[in-house]
């Protein structure tokens, strides 16, 4: 190689050729010499930082300038190459399951079941109000607490009324002075009955020959005693037990409500139907009612009596009213129920087999359907809604537009 350089210099060639030759020689020498590959690892470094303020970092012990806590010693360890020798070997293609089947939704019309949550409520048609037919003073109360059960014909209270006393005296006067005037006698007796006396009480006055100072008022129906009026409603008279507001010695005026009787032999099931299903819910449709706290109990059958023309502001639902018989008093006011309505029309939408319900890995915001089946409808949160069906299922959604 030295001879080659000397030869080129002696021949007087351009210096550029010399440089080119030297570069070629260096490349040849580099290719013929193998250098061993060396791994370099960073050494561990120590520093001090605050547990509450990790942005505070120092190379010596001390206190945090923010909170005053002692700094904690930390160490940055050297980088370690990952060891992949313990990783499992991928399974062969022969072990891959081949029984997985894919299904596609189909558009069809299916008979569905509309499921609606609800609650048991009073039937206002069974309310019986006991009002004072005459003004007077309550001398004695025979019922003292809300929801105290009473039977028809049971005493509720005794009242002293100057008006009743006067009418009794008029009847006795007619009996004494004009006993043969049946028209006048009938008119006097009828007036006492209209003022609240029973036929038996009128006969007792005629038989004794003297007026009764206290007149007993009897219950016109069986049920539970409550109060009535704005004050009673504000106090939760229909929801809470407690003493009655009226007491012995209180004065009442003519027409004033004194008590209210509630008969629960018939109750309402108030079902919340979503606005999207209202078009398929009509009065007269069959409804199956199940109790949420007793799902094993026998379901109750009823019919939609009324769909209220009002959608609540808190949820896009309307109330469907179902009348239920409660002669055995098994249904309690406020009890949660679930109603399943059988609409007369079919629902058209995308359907998939019930066996195709999604398992782990379904889209975020959806949960597996818990009912037997459902129809899919596009929801505002990207998930499909569901409607119960007999042959299909789809994921349920927990978004703002889900049911």
| Contact partners, residue 298, CB within 8 Å, separation at least 6 | none
162 and 189 both lie in a single domain: yes
CATH number, residue 152: 2.40.50.100
Average pLDDT over the chain, rounded to an integer: 76
Residue 373 lies inside a defined structural domain of this protein: yes
As a whole number of angstroms, the distance between CA 119 and CA 270 comes to 5
> Which residue range forms the structural domain that includes residue 13?
2-30
Residue 100 lies inside a defined structural domain of this protein: no
221 and 142 both lie in a single domain: yes
157 and 230 both lie in a single domain: yes
Task: State pLDDT tens for residues 248-303.
Answer: 999 999 999 999 999 999 999 999 999 888 888 889 989 999 999 888 888 899 99
257 and 277 both lie in a single domain: no
> Quick one: pLDDT at residue 82?
57
pLDDT at 137 exceeding the cut of 90: yes
Q: Report the candidate in 110, 82, 114 with the shortest Cα–Cα distance to residue 272.
A: 114
> Quick one: pLDDT at residue 30?
54
Residue 179 φ then ψ, to 5°: -70, -20
164 and 231 both lie in a single domain: yes
pLDDT at 15 exceeding the cut of 90: no
250 and 145 both lie in a single domain: yes
Q: Of the candidates 304, 319, 341, which is a domain's last residue?
A: 341
- The distance in angstroms from the start CA to the end CA of the chain is 89
As a whole number of angstroms, the distance between CA 7 and CA 63 comes to 74
135 and 239 both lie in a single domain: yes
271 and 253 both lie in a single domain: no
At residue 74, the 3 state secondary structure works out as strand
As a whole number of angstroms, the distance between CA 14 and CA 8 comes to 9
258 and 273 both lie in a single domain: no
291 and 393 both lie in a single domain: no
> Quick one: pLDDT at residue 349?
73
How many domains is the chain built from? 5
As a whole number of angstroms, the distance between CA 224 and CA 260 comes to 8
pTM of the complete model:
0.57
> Quick one: pLDDT at residue 351?
74
As a whole number of angstroms, the distance between CA 8 and CA 10 comes to 5
Residue 379 lies inside a defined structural domain of this protein: yes
Given pLDDT bands bounded at 50, 70 and 90, which one contains residue 390? very low
As a whole number of angstroms, the distance between CA 321 and CA 273 comes to 10
Residue 240 lies inside a defined structural domain of this protein: yes
């Amino acid at each position: 190689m030295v001879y080659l350089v000397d030869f080129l210099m002696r021949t007087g060639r351009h210096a550029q050729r010399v440089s080119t030759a030297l570069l070629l020689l260096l490349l040849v020498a580099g290719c013929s010499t193998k250098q061993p590959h060396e791994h370099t690892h960073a050494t561990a470094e120590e520093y001090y930082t605050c547990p509450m303020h990790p942005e505070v970092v120092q190379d010596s012990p001390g206190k945090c300038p923010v909170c005053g806590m002692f700094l904690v010693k930390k160490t940055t360890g050297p980088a370690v190459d990952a060891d992949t020798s313990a990783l499992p070997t991928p399974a062969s293609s022969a072990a891959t399951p081949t029984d997985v089947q894919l299904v596609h939704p189909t558009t069809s019309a299916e008979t569905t079941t509309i499921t609606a949550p609800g609650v048991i409520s009073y039937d206002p048609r069974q309310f019986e109000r006991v009002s004072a037919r005459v003004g007077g003073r309550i001398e004695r109360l025979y019922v003292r607490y809300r929801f105290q059960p009473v039977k028809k014909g049971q005493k509720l209270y005794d009242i002293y009324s100057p008006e009743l006393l006067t009418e009794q005296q008029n009847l006795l006067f007619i009996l004494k002075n004009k006993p043969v005037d049946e028209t006048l006698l009938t008119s006097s007796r009828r007036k006492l009955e209209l003022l609240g006396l029973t036929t038996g009480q009128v006969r007792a006055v005629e038989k004794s020959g003297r007026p009764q100072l206290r007149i007993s008022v009897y219950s016109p129906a069986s049920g539970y005693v409550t109060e009535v009026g704005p004050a009673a409603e504000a106090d939760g008279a229909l929801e809470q037990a407690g003493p009655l507001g009226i007491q012995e010695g209180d004065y009442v005026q003519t027409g004033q409500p004194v008590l209210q009787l509630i008969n629960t032999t018939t109750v309402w099931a108030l079902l919340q139907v979503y606005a999207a299903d209202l078009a398929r819910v009509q009065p007269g449709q069959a409804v199956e009612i199940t109790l949420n706290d007793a799902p094993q109990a026998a379901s109750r059958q009823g019919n939609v009596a009324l769909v209220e023309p009002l959608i609540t502001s808190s949820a896009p639902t309307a109330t469907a009213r179902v009348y239920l018989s409660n002669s055995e008093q098994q249904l309690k006011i406020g009890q949660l129920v679930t109603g399943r309505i059988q609409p007369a029309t079919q629902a058209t939408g995308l359907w998939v087999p019930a066996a195709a319900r999604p398992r782990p890995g379904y889209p975020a915001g959806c949960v597996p359907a818990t009912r037997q089946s459902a129809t899919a409808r596009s929801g505002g949160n990207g998930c499909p809604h569901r409607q119960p069906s007999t042959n299909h299922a789809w994921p349920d959604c927990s978004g703002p537009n889900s049911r």
